[in-house]
Amino acid sequence: MYIVTNRIDVPAERAEAFEERFIGNMRNNLPKVAGLSRATLDRPVNENTPYKVTMEFEAESDFEAWKSSEAFRASHARPAAPASAAEKPQADAEPPAADTRSVTGVELHVRVETYTAARG
């Protein structure tokens, strides 16, 4: 078993849209991933805590194959660009503040979605 965990920072005002899009990607793209046993999306309980995504592969080679697959590209494609100029980021905007979260400590999450591969 090879387990990969990602932490994804999502602003509170975009959380609902993020979950909807992410769950759609899980349902549409993960069944195409060879060697993937399970994937989960966990919502943070506390502010300033990232979402947590865990993927369980049969082997590291399955994970490496996933990273170069069409399913990976489809899952990681950016949403369409903002329609209006008012929504576009400004070139002179301040860069985001440095991440000051502790690398250690407890992070509380609620399970939002689980994908489990069908067993043949």
| CATH number of residue 17's parent domain | 3.30.70.100
Predicted confidence pLDDT, tens digits, the chain (120 residues) = 999 999 999 999 999 999 999 999 889 888 889 999 999 999 999 888 999 999 999 999 999 998 998 888 888 777 665 555 444 444 444 444 545 454 556 677 788 888 888 876
In a domain, 84, yes or no: no
Q: Does any domain span residue 48?
A: yes
32: in domain: yes
pLDDT score, position 91: 47
Per the domain annotation, does 1 fall within a domain?
Answer: no
- Residue 27 inside a domain? The answer is yes
Bridge partners of residue 57, in order along the sequence: 2, 36
Task: Name, in order, each residue with C-beta under 8 angstroms of 48's C-beta and a sequence gap of 6 or more.
Answer: 101
| pLDDT at position 120 | 62
Number of domains composing the chain: 1
Domain range enclosing 59:
6-78+104-116
